[in-house]
Chains A and B, each alone.
Chain A
Amino acid sequence: MNLFRFFRPAASAPVARERLQILLEFERKMGSQIDLFAVLREEILEVVSRHVNVDPDKVQVTVDRGPKFSTLAVDIEIPNSGGKVRASA
């Protein structure tokens, strides 16, 4: 029956399994706790705001959750004081 498998598109279930594992592992760990990323984001912003004026509209936060590690990128635009500060956690 492997012959027939050859004509089919690659199985999608393994992709689904991996996506769910990553997602559920993250969500279970978090449980009802406060989102770690939200805490990090707030504290990073607080530190930066201590030194420069931060316009909340000019802050972009992105995350990418991976199987081994996740990334948090906080892009903060700082006017009139020399470009951007980029903090990654």
Chain B
Amino acid sequence: MGKVIVVTSGKGGVGKTTSTAALGAALARAGQNVVVVDFDVGLRNLDLVMGAERRVVYDLINVVQGVVKLPQALIRDKRIETLFLLPASQTRDKDALTEEGVGRVIAELRAKFDWVICDSPAGIERGATLAMRFADAAVIVANSEVSSVRDSDRIIGLLDSKTVKAEKGERMEKHLLITRFDSTRAARGEMLSIEDVLEILSVPLLGIIPESEAVLRASNLGTPVTICSSDSAPARAYTAAARRLAGEDIAMTIPTDKRGFFNKLFGRRAA
């Protein structure tokens, strides 16, 4: 039986979709069977970040409503053959998802894959609560910034009350992934420190993803950053986070981008 992970944050724009793609690709590259599921009905983007936007035929709602069987809607990644995408619908609204239907699809995915990674929409409404509803564990994506930390706290509250696991009285496994981290600005006191965020949220740290031009480049090219530039700092951070998610014990570091001789010499700034 596979493990169902929800990637969530409350706040938009913190890096849920990027993180879903990067973690999913890292796990798949390690030989695991992975499906990434877009729950952002109406505003899908995981297909674009995965580079599969031209190949979408069916979506999650078609499967939930029984229009097609699951295998027909899954899009296999062109680079890693154990990686699949289940896109969200572009034209329907989130009310087309029913709890019963989502539960059925998640159960089927769980039987088929080692990892089912659900990319939650922003917000705390139906789409977000359905994305987390059947999860075994949550990756909470946050930036070192007040509004993101506050929204993460709200989401943690929902994870501990509105999920099937919570309702059964079990403890929801939660992991904090801090993205877009800028060590220089944190050292100068311009950003909340990792310690501050951890103290406020009291959720164990899964990884720290440094702010990097490699992330933008990866989404421009439609390739998860862990495949696109696997040596880059964010890719190494995501790969380590994926291994921690799988239960490995890996020392927490903040990788930095290697700078070439010319870049060091002329102090090229991150784009």
Residues on A facing B (Cβ under 8 Å): 4, 7, 9, 12-13, 15-16, 19, 22-23, 27, 30, 32, 35, 37, 41, 56-57, 59-66, 70
* Inter-chain contact A62/B268, CB cutoff 8 Å: no
Contact flags B134-165 to A (C-beta < 8 A → 1, else 0): 00000000000000000000000000000000
CA separation between A6 and B221, bound complex, in Å? 19
Quick one: which of A30, A41, A56, A62 contacts B69, CB cutoff 8 A?
A56
Asked if A63 meets B268 with Cβ closer than 8 Å, knowing A7-B262, A9-B217, A57-B69, the reply is no
A73 to chain B, nearest CB (A): 10
CA separation between A66 and B263, bound complex, in Å? 37
Quick one: which of B48, B58, B71, B220 contacts A12, CB cutoff 8 A?
B220
CA separation between A4 and B267, bound complex, in Å? 11
| B260 within 8 Å of A (CB atoms) | yes
A-B contact count (CB 8 A): 56
Chain A neighbourhood of B220, CB < 8 A: 12-13, 15-16
A-B contact pairs, 24 of them (CB 8 A): A7-B263, A9-B217, A12-B217, A12-B220, A12-B221, A15-B221, A15-B222, A16-B219, A16-B221, A23-B53, A32-B91, A35-B91, A37-B57, A41-B57, A56-B69, A57-B71, A59-B72, A61-B57, A62-B55, A62-B57, A63-B56, A63-B57, A64-B55, A70-B54
Chain B neighbourhood of A12, CB < 8 A: 216-217, 220-221
* Inter-chain contact A23/B54, CB cutoff 8 Å: yes
| B253 within 8 Å of A (CB atoms) | no
A49 to chain B, nearest CB (A): 15
Asked if A19 meets B268 with Cβ closer than 8 Å, knowing A9-B217, A60-B72, A65-B54, the reply is no
Chain B neighbourhood of A61, CB < 8 A: 57-58, 72
Quick one: which of A13, A15, A19 contacts B53, CB cutoff 8 A?
A19
Contact flags B220-244 to A (C-beta < 8 A → 1, else 0): 1110000001000000000000000
Asked if A63 meets B260 with Cβ closer than 8 Å, knowing A19-B48, A35-B91, the reply is no
CA separation between A59 and B72, bound complex, in Å? 8
The 9 closest A-B pairs by CB, nearest first: A16-B220, A12-B220, A65-B54, A12-B217, A61-B57, A23-B53, A12-B221, A63-B57, A57-B69
* Inter-chain contact A4/B48, CB cutoff 8 Å: no
| B90 within 8 Å of A (CB atoms) | yes
CA separation between A27 and B72, bound complex, in Å? 22
Asked if A27 meets B90 with Cβ closer than 8 Å, knowing A7-B260, A15-B221, the reply is yes
* Inter-chain contact A4/B90, CB cutoff 8 Å: no
CA separation between A41 and B91, bound complex, in Å? 18
Chain A neighbourhood of B229, CB < 8 A: 9
Chain A neighbourhood of B69, CB < 8 A: 56-57
